[in-house]
Structure 1
Amino acid sequence: MNKRIQLRVALIIVAAGILIVAALAAIIYWKQSTRLINKAPHEQLIEVKSTEVIAERYDAIVTGTDPEGVAAALSAARNGLKVLLVEGSVHGNDRKQLGGLMTIGWLNTLDLNYSPKNPSFLTSLRKPIYLNKGIFQEWYEQIEGSSFDTNTAANVFYRMVAAEPNIDLLMNVQSMTPIMSTESGTPAVVGLNVVKSDGSTATIAAEALIDATQDADIAAAAGAPYTVGREDIGNKNVMMVATLVFKLSGVTQEIWEKIGSHSDAGIDKMSIWGYNAAREYVPSNPDKVKIRGLNIGRQNDGTILLNTMQLFDVDPLDPESVRQGIAIGEHEAPLIADFLIKRFDEFKDLKYAGTASELYIRESRHINGEYRVTLADLMENRDHWDAIAYGSYAVDIQSTSSGGIGTILMNPAQYGVPFRSLVPLEVDGLLVIGRAASFDSVPHGSARVIPLGMATGEAAGAAVKLAKDEQITFRDLSKSEQLVNKLKQNLTKQGMDLKMNSLSVPAYVKHKAYKGLVAAANMNLTSGSYSNDAWDLDGKMNVQRFLNMLRTIRGLHPDKFESNLSFLTASVDNPAQTPLTLNMALYMFARAMGIDTTLDEAKGEMLSQAFTTDATLALVEDQEQLSNGEVFLLIRDIAIEYLGASYE
């Protein structure tokens, strides 16, 4: 009898197991068979209306309706503050909807901050875990996915704002300038002067202002210090390329899947990426425009948006330069579309359908705040005691000249953005959020992404409430561990996830040449790629590669080095095959710096002027063949002592 019962139980367990496996298989099959299908309807844009009566005073004014500004306004309003959200003309374009770069600039593919704790198994059955959550997650769960329909996104932003009775909205102002006071001794923003769309003016007082404009225009007008482009590493005239997104129509489900089946393409239901062969395109004006591989975002009306065009020499702070950039892009877009349609069979049935009305500007001002996020912060996955948001997107350095294609410098697992990075130096009553916040230009390649910017906006909105309640400045708040902890607690209560995950120390950080690596990476002399293992610190350096590095450094600091460095290798028969010795490296550096010395005397000369140190030289294992890492250490010494750089 017992054996029969045991057998029956065993059969039941086996049957249950079969059913579970079958159910799981069915779920997986259904997921796979439907994972590329987008069933979301196309929405008509909701008309965005300004509040009829604008008050004379608000607790907070938020300038700019890009996603970061919307998040800031929502956060402040939900903390009980009366908020004015203001939008003006952006690069000459009057905005008629919320969402800015995403919805008007058509940047409809998200650069997401994934948690390092995402499971690596059954990924097709799981929703990814994102950092920060909060208002970004609330918005994200109402759109289509990794890419989104711009009408959907704009409508969700507007519905969220309209649902908050504490937010007044003022669109299409002709100009806005900060009202300043020096009553407390330090210049402080105390309101905003605006010229409305009808030409009438208004003077609006506020206890605080959050600048969410793309270029930190209000902060700059208030006198907050900043750098431009790559100024912090030597050249303010160098910035990442701009992009004009364009549209193709005629996309059916069959065509979508066909485009995504290309040999080097990746695909989900809303995004396709790849097509590196698109770089074959020959532009009409090679000095001003080219294209890279394709980033494709799907719309709900049978169209797709393509982020591929690279526009060079666009100065975001010069309206005429921006207008010229748009004109060049509008001329080139149909030519690129025609190339894609003829070059790739997957595109043959598509039609060109126009461009965005705004440029995608990646970089302009970088505000100097109470703390500037550094590349070392990202490379070491640093947390901060006052972290109010976290990032993990790769350091994506786009091209800055038509001769290069950009690079993925490295891929942080998770790093903290301090509240101090939102507090500009020299001006009170002001917070700066989004890509213009206080980030060095290189880590800005990661920190500039919109989801992280929305998290900084949410933190800024809550900070206004706390500073108001405590009757202190943002600067004082940024220096109080007790109050910042309270701010973080408040943010957690409103739905943000501010936990730093436990992470192992990256292998490259343990390397003897790590400090030199940080310097070299800041100068774009090396990269670790997505896997962080391409640094090649122990690889052997040759004379030609070192000369190329010197040329790159000179490009960043042209006033510090000789204009022509070719003479440095004139006596070397085959520099690409010649090992770089310690004496040769120091000689080439010295002569490039204008120091008259010889191969034998260069080491002593460089030591005497503190351009290198005994501690660095002690790390060299073979003076007749320097490694890449050992060269990076020499570069670090020069950068600190001669160029005045800092990499901590």
Structure 2
Amino acid sequence: MLVRSRAVTAWINAMLVCSLLLFIPQTNAKAAKTLHTYTVANTAVIKPSYDVIVAGTDPEGIMAAVSAARNQLKVLLVENRPRNVMGGLMTLGWLNSLDLNKSPKVSKEFPSPYLNKGLFQEWYYLIGGTSFDVRRAANAFAKMVKDEKNIDVLMNARSMNPLMEGNKVAGMQIVDGSGKAYTVRAGAVIDATQDGDVMAAAGAPFTMDREDIGDPASKIAVTLVFKLSGVNDKAWKTLRQHKGAGSDAMSIWGYGDAKEYVSSDQTRVKIRSLNIGRQEDGTLLINTMQIYGIDPLDPASLSEGMKIGQKEAPLIVNYLKKKYKEFATLSYAGTAPELYVRESRHMKGEYRLTMADLMNNRDFWDAIAYGSYEVDIQSFTHAYSGAVVMKPKQYGVPFRTLVPQQVDGLLVVGRAASFDTLPHGSARVMPLGMATGQAAGAAVKLAKEYKMSFRDLTKSKSGIAELRKRLTKQGMDLRMVKFAAPEYSKHKYYPGLLATASLAAAVGGYSNDAWDLDGPSNPKRFYNTAAAFHRMFPEAFPNKMTMNADDFSKDVPLSLKQAANIIALSAGIETEPEAAIEVMTNRSIVSKDFIKGIKNPAKLTNGEAFMIVRGAIKSIAGVEYK
């Protein structure tokens, strides 16, 4: 393991910053507008073969390409979206406020405030701040690619499709912007597209959106970031002083009552609290808009989303200017070139990251990255505001989540990797995706040396140990921080909580205390939980629960008799209400000892209700979350 002193690390960081200063024009209040974005020129001659092709120039793809190049591999980095700059969602979707993977504890042993480090931290030092100037970020990405002589670049391709030999990806079929076709062979392909386009085209299995929790029709809201101009130091200071808003030198978050905005079409677009990132040219980027009913895989639907956002953005700005005196001097200055899409395909890999993994803060023998960001489930309908399901301390991301089932020669990084939809709410953040990109680039080199397929590598303890060793030498920190087990996991009814949270039916919030395990449950909450049984396990729970959830009150306690009867109804078990408890024990949904341990059968706690949920899923559907 490569160990550096804090002094050496500081010196390296300073050198990184200095190297960027040589490449990117410096800015100050007077010269800010002189900072321009460096476009990326295509390589003049595209070779017939490479060691690896990386598809996609979002941050995850850039890190994969740079990692592979630094591992002495010949790389083709190809992009089939109409882009002339590097960085994708960050630099063209204007998602300039970072969702950081913070370490659960900073200590002498673990001095970094962020997990993973590596290429992400190298890039982060180049741009600085929790919010960054998108032009400076694009230039930093361009510099990292430009500095690697082993990377060839092909931007603005008309199409890119996997070259298949049986079930193996053997390269890519590419048509460039001029219409010239290439057949480019490669020892491996890394899919870093936002939607897992190469993975899907290669025939790898996947789920869509919220399909794995029985809700395939719902789609998480997309966002169109918009810009305000007229920001000087005085205006920025005024914005930061708003009551209830949090801020640092480059970011502001809050203005929670902005969500009172009434849009031009409440069913298609609304706003939430504001995430504000300062730019160096006297502008702000604001992430607040939520646009509903957009299919990320349908170009016509994406175009509709852009039109909805472009129409709404100036209306939102007018509202902010009238509602908050802090915005009065600012002016609307346009929208981002691309939509911010949060979710689409979820690959089925050799391992699938689960909610239980995050709640248990689970490490893995083949972890190649670590996450800690909250499980942030965004709104998917105008009637639902979204939720933070829980906040993990730290969890590992197995190498197996990058390896698709049924397809060889391919790795998938970023948000399309093998994550269930709930943990995806944490694992989709780009610092973690950039870490998976770095790991993928190094894995291609190791698999080539070992003459081993990626699938074989997922089964090799010695191979993974060598991969982790190399990644550590290349700047990553692949250690679990030492921390105490969270309080919720010590509760005797934690197994029930684990099952209920995995159904998307329990929310812990940022502090993991909204579970309220010892607090009172109610019939409405339990009925809504039982309604999820049919969505996820329709054969085991055939009853769609046609009774209206509003018929159940949240203001009265849930009794054991009510809970047993709701379980029986959902499972299609014919029984009299008075006999439902006996049916539960006879079917081993709950034990007699559990019933004896209930404090008050007329007033079940949330923890007791969660245990009944767990028993029903395990006994009737045959599924156990652990």
Q: Report the TM-score, using the length of structure 2 for normalisation.
A: 0.91
SS in 1 for 2:374: coil
**Structure 2 residue aligned with 1:170:** 154
**Structure 2 residue aligned with 1:6:** none
2:389 and 2:509 in contact (8 A); partners too = yes
> Kindly tell me: are residues 117 and 576 of structure 1, through their superposed partners in 2, closer, same or farther at Cα, counting changes over 3 Å?
closer
Task: State how far apart, in whole Å, the 2-side matches of 1:523 and 1:38 are.
Answer: 51
CA offsets 1:62-106 (integer angstroms, 9 cap, x no match): 0000000000000000000000000012xxxx1111100000000
Task: State how far apart, in whole Å, the 1-side matches of 2:345 and 2:234 are.
Answer: 43
CA offsets 1:554-604 (integer angstroms, 9 cap, x no match): 56667845455437896x8xx444432222211122123333221122133
Deviates more, 1:632-641 or 1:366-375: 632-641
Q: How far is 1:519 from its partner?
A: 1.8
Q: How far is 1:606 from its partner?
A: 3.7
Matched, 1:502 2:490: no
Structure 2 residue corresponding to 1:313, chosen from 293, 309, 330: 293
**Residues 216-255 of structure 1 correspond to what in structure 2 (within 5 A)?**
216-255=196-235
Deviates more, 1:605-614 or 1:338-347: 605-614
Task: State how far apart, in whole Å, the 1-side matches of 2:464 and 2:581 are.
Answer: 49
1:63 and 1:86 in contact (8 A); partners too = yes
Task: State how far apart, in whole Å, the 2-side matches of 1:192 and 1:458 are.
Answer: 21
Q: Which amino acid aligns with 2:58?
A: D
> Kindly tell me: are residues 564 and 475 of structure 1, through their superposed partners in 2, closer, same or farther at Cα, counting changes over 3 Å?
closer
**Structure 1 residue aligned with 2:571:** 593
SS in 2 for 1:88: coil
Structure 1 unaligned spans of 5+: 1-36, 121-126
**Structure 2 residue aligned with 1:113:** 101
Q: Which amino acid aligns with 1:393?
A: Y
Structure 2 residue corresponding to 1:86, chosen from 53, 63, 78: 78
> Kindly tell me: are residues 372 and 646 of structure 1, through their superposed partners in 2, closer, same or farther at Cα, counting changes over 3 Å?
farther
CA offsets 1:339-373 (integer angstroms, 9 cap, x no match): 11111100001111111121111111111111111
Matched, 1:147 2:127: no
Q: Which amino acid aligns with 1:440?
A: D
2:258 and 2:272 in contact (8 A); partners too = yes
**Structure 2 residue aligned with 1:158:** 142
> Kindly tell me: are residues 201 and 568 of structure 1, through their superposed partners in 2, closer, same or farther at Cα, counting changes over 3 Å?
closer
Structure 2 unaligned spans of 5+: 1-27
Matched, 1:291 2:297: no
SS in 1 for 2:577: coil
Q: Which amino acid aligns with 1:112?
A: L
> Kindly tell me: are residues 394 and 193 of structure 1, through their superposed partners in 2, closer, same or farther at Cα, counting changes over 3 Å?
same
1:394 and 1:530 in contact (8 A); partners too = yes
Structure 2 residue corresponding to 1:566, chosen from 543, 547, 552: 547
2:524 and 2:549 in contact (8 A); partners too = no
Matched, 1:181 2:165: yes
Larger radius of gyration: 1
**Structure 1 residue aligned with 2:42:** 50
Task: State how far apart, in whole Å, the 2-side matches of 1:190 and 1:39 are.
Answer: 52
Q: Which amino acid aligns with 1:402?
A: H
1:242 and 1:362 in contact (8 A); partners too = yes
Q: Which amino acid aligns with 1:566?
A: M
2:212 and 2:536 in contact (8 A); partners too = no
Q: How far is 1:525 from its partner?
A: 2.3
2:60 and 2:413 in contact (8 A); partners too = yes
> Kindly tell me: are residues 497 and 568 of structure 1, through their superposed partners in 2, closer, same or farther at Cα, counting changes over 3 Å?
closer
**Structure 2 residue aligned with 1:16:** none
Q: How far is 1:512 from its partner?
A: 1.5
> Kindly tell me: are residues 557 and 398 of structure 1, through their superposed partners in 2, closer, same or farther at Cα, counting changes over 3 Å?
farther
**Structure 1 residue aligned with 2:325:** 345
**Residues 489-638 of structure 1 correspond to what in structure 2 (within 5 A)?**
489-551=469-531, 560=541, 562-563=543-544, 565-566=546-547, 575-609=553-587, 611-612=589-590, 617=595, 620-638=598-616
SS in 1 for 2:137: helix
Q: How far is 1:141 from its partner?
A: 0.3
> Kindly tell me: are residues 348 and 307 of structure 1, through their superposed partners in 2, closer, same or farther at Cα, counting changes over 3 Å?
same
CA offsets 1:198-221 (integer angstroms, 9 cap, x no match): 111100000000000001010011
> Kindly tell me: are residues 584 and 137 of structure 1, through their superposed partners in 2, closer, same or farther at Cα, counting changes over 3 Å?
same
CA offsets 1:382-426 (integer angstroms, 9 cap, x no match): 111111111111111111111111111111111111111111111
Q: How far is 1:192 from its partner?
A: 0.3
2:251 and 2:277 in contact (8 A); partners too = yes
CA offsets 1:1-52 (integer angstroms, 9 cap, x no match): xxxxxxxxxxxxxxxxxxxxxxxxxxxxxxxxxxxx9899452011210101
Q: How far is 1:161 from its partner?
A: 0.3
Task: State how far apart, in whole Å, the 2-side matches of 1:39 and 1:512 are.
Answer: 62
Structure 1 residue corresponding to 2:315, chosen from 335, 344, 357: 335
Structure 2 residue corresponding to 1:99, chosen from 80, 87, 91: 87
Identity %: 53
Q: How far is 1:541 from its partner?
A: 1.6
2:60 and 2:434 in contact (8 A); partners too = yes
Task: State how far apart, in whole Å, the 2-side matches of 1:495 and 1:111 are.
Answer: 21
Task: State how far apart, in whole Å, the 2-side matches of 1:614 and 1:200 are.
Answer: 72
Q: How far is 1:321 from its partner?
A: 1.4
Q: Which amino acid aligns with 1:71?
A: M
Q: Which amino acid aligns with 1:51?
A: T
Task: State how far apart, in whole Å, the 2-side matches of 1:47 and 1:87 are.
Answer: 13
Task: State how far apart, in whole Å, the 2-side matches of 1:568 and 1:263 are.
Answer: 38
> Kindly tell me: are residues 38 and 275 of structure 1, through their superposed partners in 2, closer, same or farther at Cα, counting changes over 3 Å?
farther
SS in 2 for 1:390: strand
Matched, 1:74 2:54: no
> Kindly tell me: are residues 615 and 214 of structure 1, through their superposed partners in 2, closer, same or farther at Cα, counting changes over 3 Å?
farther
SS in 2 for 1:85: strand
> Kindly tell me: are residues 226 and 478 of structure 1, through their superposed partners in 2, closer, same or farther at Cα, counting changes over 3 Å?
same
Deviates more, 1:576-585 or 1:551-560: 551-560
State the Cα RMSD in Å. Answer: 2.2
Q: How far is 1:109 from its partner?
A: 0.4
> Kindly tell me: are residues 259 and 477 of structure 1, through their superposed partners in 2, closer, same or farther at Cα, counting changes over 3 Å?
same
2:531 and 2:570 in contact (8 A); partners too = no
Structure 2 residue corresponding to 1:485, chosen from 465, 477, 480: 465
Task: State how far apart, in whole Å, the 2-side matches of 1:589 and 1:385 are.
Answer: 39
Task: State how far apart, in whole Å, the 1-side matches of 2:360 and 2:289 are.
Answer: 33
1:40 and 1:300 in contact (8 A); partners too = no
Deviates more, 1:323-332 or 1:577-586: 577-586
Q: How far is 1:470 from its partner?
A: 0.4
Q: Which amino acid aligns with 1:638?
A: A
Task: State how far apart, in whole Å, the 2-side matches of 1:354 and 1:569 are.
Answer: 43
Q: How far is 1:477 from its partner?
A: 0.8
Task: State how far apart, in whole Å, the 1-side matches of 2:152 and 2:64 are.
Answer: 13
CA offsets 1:235-278 (integer angstroms, 9 cap, x no match): 12223211111111111111011011111111111110000010
Deviates more, 1:576-585 or 1:61-70: 576-585
2:206 and 2:345 in contact (8 A); partners too = yes
SS in 1 for 2:467: helix
Q: Report the TM-score, using the length of structure 1 for normalisation.
A: 0.88
Matched, 1:402 2:382: yes
2:72 and 2:150 in contact (8 A); partners too = yes
Q: Which amino acid aligns with 2:195?
A: D
Q: How far is 1:320 from its partner?
A: 1.5
Task: State how far apart, in whole Å, the 2-side matches of 1:615 and 1:163 are.
Answer: 66
Task: State how far apart, in whole Å, the 1-side matches of 2:428 and 2:611 are.
Answer: 29
> Kindly tell me: are residues 39 and 458 of structure 1, through their superposed partners in 2, closer, same or farther at Cα, counting changes over 3 Å?
farther
2:105 and 2:483 in contact (8 A); partners too = no
Deviates more, 1:503-512 or 1:300-309: 503-512
